[in-house]
């Protein structure tokens, strides 16, 4: 059996630099040469495999097995979820149900830009992220905000910042599922640990959003919106993340947030109605900007909400801790190597086929929704064509990034990189979320970042004796902070604006606020490590 080498070159710094090559290469290919993500990751895969064989002396056949098992994991654990999530979303669009939901939602708002921002950017954006992810919340929320009077580049920034907190659970849990796949950590435990960090993180963005659209005075006047918006999202997100798993925290958080904000607006309104920039607006302007009547009957409103109800009910029943379906594994494919970090220990590249995973629950939800909405053959063809056009590249990224990640881990490259970084000591707690931030800038995907860095972060934690869940969780949440400056995400997010193929201007516009949120996350990670480490150990609550 192949045994990994911690320092194959004999010079630790050189080994560390070579282990960084796949990361640096992806950065150059994506940020400098602006290659498509799938092509960049394919090239990165070939280079990683070459380094693993020539420098780390990985047996070529075992390496091919590791790559194949990783690619199968990417297809089944991630692509199977994201494709069905996009199919479901496209079904709502093609049938007109999404438009009804949008009209109903806009009608609940007032002319006040702060109310609109919390309903559309914060709550609705979380719902879209939980269902689809991959930058689509920007693409759909920003035009709504523009129609409500916010300049386009600022509308995109608001949509992007609002999208921060939900990203760790985006696309029906795909990032956490990827993290569990490459680390071997229990899915439920990872979901809960990330949920605790996200719950604290989510306290800040609503205040930032109110400031961005109305300034300091407008923000403080509307403090109930920030308090209710953040706490309501957390009240839906955290229990689901901890007790039900990673599939629906965003959806639940968004639904609870909608309900609580609408209840708040029945009892309270800002004393002064303000438009973008914080300027008071006249009664005539209020009448023209207010949502007005949506023109929908009760059955149409019910139809607009029905797909979300079906999705929540089926996924909860299917994937909850009471269900054995997701844990049924008819067979596994695996190749093992001796660990370079644990004396006598082993590492394995494994594909475990579990037919009842969350993606299958989402597929079942779509079948029910399709029957209830009575979609016809023409609509079905349109849905299929649109989904293929949107997702073929993302699906290839899932295949190649997991193959790359499995080889990176199996060969010992991740262990060598971890060993080098471990020399930083406990201060590495500060570095972990920054690497996640950098990783999402490379791949544009929290899912891909977790696949690339998850096992590496776990290995550093083991060397340093840190809580098992701490560094992988900080990697995941650090990646969500970096989404507003990720080129691949921005390319999707600006697709409905005038900034198509001019993502750089949007990224520069977003950058400063992402650094503020990253600093906040670093403080959160340090606080958990010092004051609440029990939350981040296996079996911790």
Provide the whole-model pTM: 0.76
In a domain? residue 91: yes
Q: What is the dihedral angle through the alpha carbons of 116, 268, 213, 167, rounded to the nearest 10 degrees?
A: -60
The values of phi and psi at residue 261, to 5°, are -65, -40
468 Cβ contact list (under 8 Å, min separation 6)? 185, 458, 461, 462, 536, 537, 538
In a domain? residue 337: no
What does the angle CA 54 – CA 56 – CA 59 come to, to the nearest 5 degrees?
75
* pLDDT number for residue 202: 93
Q: Identify the burial level of 199 via C-beta atoms within 10 angstroms of its C-beta, where 0-12 means exposed, 13-18 middle and 19 or more buried.
A: buried
In a domain? residue 453: yes
Q: Where are the alpha helices (DSSP H) in 109-201?
A: 113-116, 125-131, 136-147, 152-162, 170-183, 187-201
* pLDDT number for residue 142: 77
DSSP code at position 337: E
Which residues does residue 353 pair with via DSSP β-bridges, in sequence order? 331
Which residues does residue 346 pair with via DSSP β-bridges, in sequence order? 338
Instruction: Residue 400: give the domain boundaries.
Output: 12-329+358-536
Enumerate residue ranges in the chain where pLDDT < 50.
Answer: 291, 540-541
Cα 262 → chain centroid: 26
In a domain? residue 26: yes
Distance, in Å, from the CA atom of 143 to the CA atom of 494, rounded to the nearest integer, reads 10
- Total Cβ atoms within 10 A of residue 46: 11
Distance, in Å, from the CA atom of 50 to the CA atom of 186, rounded to the nearest integer, reads 31
CB 536 within 8 A of CB 193: yes
Distance, in Å, from the CA atom of 88 to the CA atom of 131, rounded to the nearest integer, reads 8
264, two tokens: 């708040």
In a domain? residue 350: no
115, two tokens: 């109310």
In a domain? residue 336: no
DSSP-derived secondary structure for 338-401: E-SSSTT-EEEEEEEE-TTSHHHHHHHHHHHHHHHHT--HHHHHHHHHHHHHHHHHHHHHHHHH
In a domain? residue 316: yes
If you compute the radius of gyration of the chain from its CA atoms, what whole number of angstroms results?
Answer: 23
* pLDDT number for residue 286: 59
Question: Would you call 331 helix, strand, or coil by DSSP?
Answer: strand
CB 18 within 8 A of CB 9: yes
* pLDDT number for residue 492: 57
The values of phi and psi at residue 351, to 5°, are -115, 120
In a domain? residue 31: yes
Instruction: Find the length of the chain.
Output: 541
CB 421 within 8 A of CB 65: no
pLDDT digits (tens, 9 = 90+) for 310-343: 988 888 788 766 778 877 889 899 999 988 876 6
466, two tokens: 């840190």
Provide the number of structural domains found in the chain: 1
């Amino acid at each position: 059996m192949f045994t990994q080498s911690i320092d194959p070159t004999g010079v630790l710094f050189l080994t560390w630099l070579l282990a960084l090559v796949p990361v640096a290469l992806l950065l150059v290919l994506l940020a400098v040469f602006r290659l498509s993500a799938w092509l960049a990751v394919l090239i990165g895969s070939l280079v990683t495999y070459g380094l693993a064989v020539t420098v780390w002396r990985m047996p070529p056949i075992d390496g091919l097995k590791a790559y194949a098992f990783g690619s199968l994991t990417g297809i089944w654990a991630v692509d199977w979820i994201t494709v069905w999530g996009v199919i479901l979303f496209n079904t709502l669009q093609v049938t007109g149900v999404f438009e009804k939901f949008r009209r109903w939602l806009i009608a609940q708002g007032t002319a006040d830009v702060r109310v609109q921002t919390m309903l559309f950017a914060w709550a609705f954006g979380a719902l879209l992220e939980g269902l689809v992810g991959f930058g689509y919340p920007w693409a759909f929320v920003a035009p709504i905000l523009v129609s409500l009077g916010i300049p386009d580049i600022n509308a995109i920034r608001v949509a992007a910042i609002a999208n921060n907190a939900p990203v760790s659970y985006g696309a029906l849990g795909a990032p956490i599922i990827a993290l569990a796949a490459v680390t071997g950590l229990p899915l439920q435990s990872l979901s809960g640990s990330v949920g605790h960090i996200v719950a604290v993180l989510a306290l800040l963005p609503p205040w930032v959003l109110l400031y961005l659209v109305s300034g300091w005075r407008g923000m403080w006047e509307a403090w109930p919106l920030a308090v209710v918006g953040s706490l309501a999202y957390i009240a839906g997100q955290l229990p689901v993340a901890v007790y039900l798993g990673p599939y629906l925290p965003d959806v639940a958080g968004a639904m609870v947030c909608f309900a609580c904000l609408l209840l708040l607006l029945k009892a309270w309104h800002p004393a002064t109605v303000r438009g973008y920039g914080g300027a008071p607006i006249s009664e005539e302007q209020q009448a023209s900007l207010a949502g007005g009547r949506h023109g929908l009957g009760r059955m149409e409103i019910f139809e607009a909400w029905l797909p979300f109800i079906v999705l929540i009910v089926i996924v909860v029943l299917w994937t909850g801790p009471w269900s054995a379906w997701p844990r049924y594994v008819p067979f596994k494919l695996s190749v093992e190597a001796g660990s370079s970090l644990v004396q006598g220990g082993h590492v394995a590249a494994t594909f475990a086929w579990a037919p009842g995973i969350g993606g299958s629950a989402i597929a079942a939800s779509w079948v029910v929704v399709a029957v209830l909405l009575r979609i016809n053959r023409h609509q079905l063809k349109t849905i299929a064509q649109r989904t293929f056009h949107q997702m073929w590249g993302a699906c290839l990224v899932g295949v190649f990034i997991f193959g790359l990640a499995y080889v990176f881990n199996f060969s010992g490259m991740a262990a060598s990189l971890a060993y080098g970084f471990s020399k930083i000591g406990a201060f590495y707690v500060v570095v972990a979320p920054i690497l996640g931030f950098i990783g999402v800038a490379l791949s544009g995907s929290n899912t891909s970042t977790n696949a690339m860095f998850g096992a590496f972060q776990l290995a550093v934690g083991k060397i340093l004796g840190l809580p098992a869940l701490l560094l992988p969780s900080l990697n995941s949440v650090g990646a969500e902070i970096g989404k507003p400056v990720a080129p691949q995400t921005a390319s999707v997010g600006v697709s409905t604006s005038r900034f198509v193929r001019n993502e750089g201007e949007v990224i520069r516009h977003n950058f400063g606020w992402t650094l503020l949120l990253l600093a906040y996350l670093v403080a959160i990670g340090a606080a958990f490590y010092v004051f609440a480490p029990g939350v981040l150990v296996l079996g911790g609550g």
